[in-house]
Structure 1
Amino acid sequence: MDTDRLPGCYRHPDRETGISCTRCERPICPDCMISASVGFQCPECVRGGSGTGHGRAANAPRTIAGGVVAADPYLVTKILIGINVAVYFATLVFPALAIHLVLIGSYSEQLGGPPEGVATGEYYRLLTSAFLHVDWWHVLGNMLGLWFLGGMLEPALGRARYLTVYLLSAWGASALIYLLTPENTPTYGASGAIFGLLGAAIVLARRTRDEVGPLIAVAVLMLVLTFTPWMNLSWQGHIGGLVTGSLLGLGVLWPATGHGARNRKFVQWGTCVAVFLLATALIAIRTAELSVLT
């Protein structure tokens, strides 16, 4: 029995196809597909596309991951860049702000008071540190990477899924940093989240059968730089982000045709919840370890 057959067109079951309607996600053959602004649509969705209200929302054009195609497909990327840049300038004006945003397990000497950090319950640092940059070249490099990778991923995933991948990649990167870095070592930067987007972009390229070689080359180059001693980069954050983003990409880009379409949303959001819980478990383990040491 051949288990690798493509699904059949919903109107012509005897015709195998790898194309699905961007609205309802049903498989369609060349005779049924109708070209749209994004991908192809089936005849029923084209006829129903001029409706209003709930029916129209249900038939809205969909991204490859199932999200609604937005008027501005780069809005979330622009907002994330804006937040990163705003935080950078805020720390220039108020340098002490960085002390309360940076990712650090536990410390007291810097402030001369009681211990502060993630181990003392300041879990917000796991995310705020991902928006913190100290040097202009640091924020510039990360924002260029965010713009490039965001330009690939946001239109393909849709806003909600894309933002989820970004934030969970930052969360996963911070979790590994917290777990494997000495408790009094400050770590900051968006590179963990950027590596997560890179991992998801590689999965996307494989999913759409685009050229994946350049993305893999970039990943290899960045990993080589990560382990270069004089660069002083957090390999924990980069590896954590890359692994997290790759896992999320596999779940979020679950196939939209065949048997996979039936449980698609469950797999997508189930993967996000599972990754969040796994990273949170690592955070809890490290917190318990530091509480014993102190």
Structure 2
Amino acid sequence: MTNPGWGGGPGDGTPPQPRCVRHPDRPTGLSCTRCGRPACPDCLREASVGYHCVDCVAADQRDVRPVRGVAGNTVTATRPTPVVTYALMGANILVFLVTVLQAKSLMNNGAGTINRFTGAATFDSPLFGWWVLSPDDVAQGDWIRLVGSGFLHFGLMHLAVNMFALYILGRDTELILGRSRYLAVYAISLLGGSASVMAFGGSSFTAGASGAIFGIMGAEAVILLKLRRSPAPIIGVIALNVVISVTLPGISFWGHLGGLVAGAAATAALLYAPQWLGAGQDRAKAVRIGWIGLVVVAVATLGVVGVRVVQLRSELGL
């Protein structure tokens, strides 16, 4: 009879030397306090009581059910890095630097001229001219403006204010919703701002991430309601920004309002639709309903754009 976890004695009458069950060539005087098997220091992990071998640690991890957040995302013990928020900030900054280099101006990177006979605009930065939101140009097929305009900014202060707001609001929202859901809400909010400008903003040129950021504000209000906490602080911030949007010239009120409504609607679809449609404790069904809700909000937003495009094409004789 043999025991693979124990080596033979040295042949001089001494007791057999215990050896690590994972490394039979290593003699050890240590053992796992859970299963009792001998283990070398490399195979032991500190536990609340004694040390557990790596096999017992792995078994514990398989038995522990993951903690789920309010949106169904997995919650870890350590605060995850908000990589989506940082990536969005990086993309906005990168686009801004490109427009600055093209226009050769840090504060007037969005400067341009408008032909008073044809109404055509020429910008010092070609990228700015290609992406800035112009309803008439979208109606003529420049669909990239619906998304690209959300990464453009008129000058350094415009960029700084929006990036600071995204940094403050985005990190916590990403933590609660999870990266993929947060990115979806941000994208829908951005489209919501563009759709609102298309429908109600006239023919002015519009740019900035503020529509998407207002959507994140709306998302936070819905999250607080779902968590049964007072949304008063974020509602106060929203109200203050709405007043600023109305009173100060050059700020797109409709872009902000559209982003706010779209972001709140998208988050409500994520957090409340599974409950309303009877998902119960079925997590897979709840996740599926949440994503379907996001698609419905996105399609409705694009529907507003489509209706307005049809109207503009008729007015332009296209």
Cα 1:182–1:198 change in 2 (3 A) is same
How do residues 1-294 of structure 1 correspond to structure 2 at under 5 angstroms? 50-51=61-62, 59-69=65-75, 72-94=80-102, 95-106=125-136, 117-183=137-203, 185-228=204-247, 230-254=248-272, 260-262=280-282, 263-294=285-316
Structure 1 residue ranges without an equivalent (≥5): 1-45, 107-116
Write the distance in 2 (CA, Å) between the matches of 1:286 and 1:252. Answer: 27
Write the distance in 2 (CA, Å) between the matches of 1:278 and 1:78. Answer: 28
Q: Which amino acid in structure 1 is aligned with residue 265 of structure 2?
A: L
Cα 1:271–1:259 change in 2 (3 A) is closer
Give the alignment's TM-score, normalised by structure 1: 0.73
Structure whose alpha-carbon radius of gyration is higher: 2
CA positional deviation for 1:235: 1.2
**Corresponding residue pairs, total:** 232
Structure 2 residue ranges without an equivalent (≥5): 1-56, 103-124
2:20 corresponds in structure 1 to none
Write the distance in 1 (CA, Å) between the matches of 2:207 and 2:154. Answer: 8
Write the distance in 2 (CA, Å) between the matches of 1:255 and 1:126. Answer: 27
Could you tell me whether the CA contact under 8 Å between 2:149 and 2:208 is conserved in 1?
A: yes
Cα 1:260–1:224 change in 2 (3 A) is farther
CA positional deviation for 1:60: 4.3
Write the distance in 1 (CA, Å) between the matches of 2:226 and 2:197. Answer: 30
Could you tell me whether the CA contact under 8 Å between 1:65 and 1:254 is conserved in 2?
A: no
Q: Which protein, 1 or 2, shows the higher relative CO under an 8 Å CA cutoff with sep ≥ 6?
A: 1
Cα 1:162–1:293 change in 2 (3 A) is same
Cα 1:259–1:270 change in 2 (3 A) is closer
Write the distance in 2 (CA, Å) between the matches of 1:259 and 1:96. Answer: 49
Write the distance in 1 (CA, Å) between the matches of 2:293 and 2:179. Answer: 17
Give the alignment's TM-score, normalised by structure 2: 0.68
Q: Over aligned residues, Cα RMSD in angstroms? A: 2.4
Q: Which amino acid in structure 1 is aligned with residue 264 of structure 2?
A: S
Could you tell me whether the CA contact under 8 Å between 1:126 and 1:174 is conserved in 2?
A: yes
CA positional deviation for 1:210: 3.0
